[in-house]
Structure 1
Amino acid sequence: MTRKQRRLALIASAGAVLVLAAALVAYALRDSIVFFYGPTEIVEKGLQPGTRLRLGGLVGEGSVARTGGQHVTFTVTDAKTTMTVSYTGLLPDLFREGQGVVTEGVLEGPGRFRADSVLAKHDENYMPREVADALKKQGHWQPGDAKAGSDAAAAPAPAK
């Protein structure tokens, strides 16, 4: 075997090991590689209380209730199922009713979720792609809605 062939064999075997390692990691994380679950998915999967996950959807209209200090209760819906979220802390400045949101926390029971963090959209025309896809799947998406997963809306308008 020439030096070039040995080098090529070494590179090929290292590449095969890397591909195998990536495949094993992806297989091990197959249930965890989810950006969030919608309320309907949580009900359908029958997730147990105490399960740590991300919940995403739209903040329910008229559902935001602030009680004492920084404690907030609101609903997250995907137009089919609604979950009540309780959160203690500062909400993002762009958090509003009727807007897309992803919360991270613990499922407390049927229809109840305790959030550790709340992520809101970053501008008026953006909705996380996962939220938009879930809304489309539920039939709640309307063609004139925000540009899903697109940062094109963040670009300045052309000068006239």
Structure 2
Amino acid sequence: MHPARKQRLILVVILVALSSAAVGFVTYAMRSNMNYFYAPKAFAAGEVPFEKRIRAGGCVVPGSIVRDGSSLDVRFALTDGEAELEVVFDKILPDLFAEGEAAVVTGKLEKGGFVRADQVLAKHDESYTPPEVAESMSGKASCHGDAKI
């Protein structure tokens, strides 16, 4: 093999190895920032890891909102039509958050089987349902119970 070709081949191999290592390091570093979406039925089936940041969504179950009188703590349940998931949130809820409306929460699954949310997103208009919620509830009644998603 000609020395110039050998030198180019070595350079290409080194560049590919360094690029692969860089992609590997970036992926490893981003693991802690990834939020996986789970429907309430996945929580009921035990498919959700504890103590990892996750997203969950569904419709807020009517009558499930319980506010603590001495703090900002709020407990409520989300449903996808098959199972319910209890959520605890300790901040101010969005103005559009209400019973029977779609919501997506971000937080961690605790050992008690509930999600301790650090963020709650509520739908923004009458016809919108977050894509993840719509997918998990496909074919079931909508949050208002009057139409299919």
SS of residue matched to 1:126: coil
Q: Does 1:49 align with 2:32?
A: no
Query: Deviation digits for residues 24-66 of structure 1, max 9, x if unmatched?
Result: 79x8789x87662111123435333212211111111100011
Q: Does 1:141 align with 2:144?
A: no
Q: CA deviation at 1:99?
A: 1.0
Pairing of 1:11-160 with structure 2 (within 5 A): 36-44=37-45, 46-68=47-69, 69-109=71-111, 111-136=113-138, 139-141=139-141, 144=147
TM-score normalised to structure 1 length:
0.64
TM-score normalised to structure 2 length:
0.68
Aligned to 1:3: none
Q: CA RMSD in A?
A: 3.3
SS of residue matched to 2:104: strand
SS of residue matched to 2:77: strand
Note the residue ranges of structure 1 that are not aligned, 5 or more in a row: 1-16, 147-160
C-alpha contact 1:36 1:102 (8 A) present in aligned 2: no
Aligned length: 129
What residue identity is the alignment partner of 2:140?
H
* Structure 1 runs, 4 residues or longer, greater than 6 Å off: 27-30
Q: Percent identity?
A: 39
What residue identity is the alignment partner of 2:115?
F
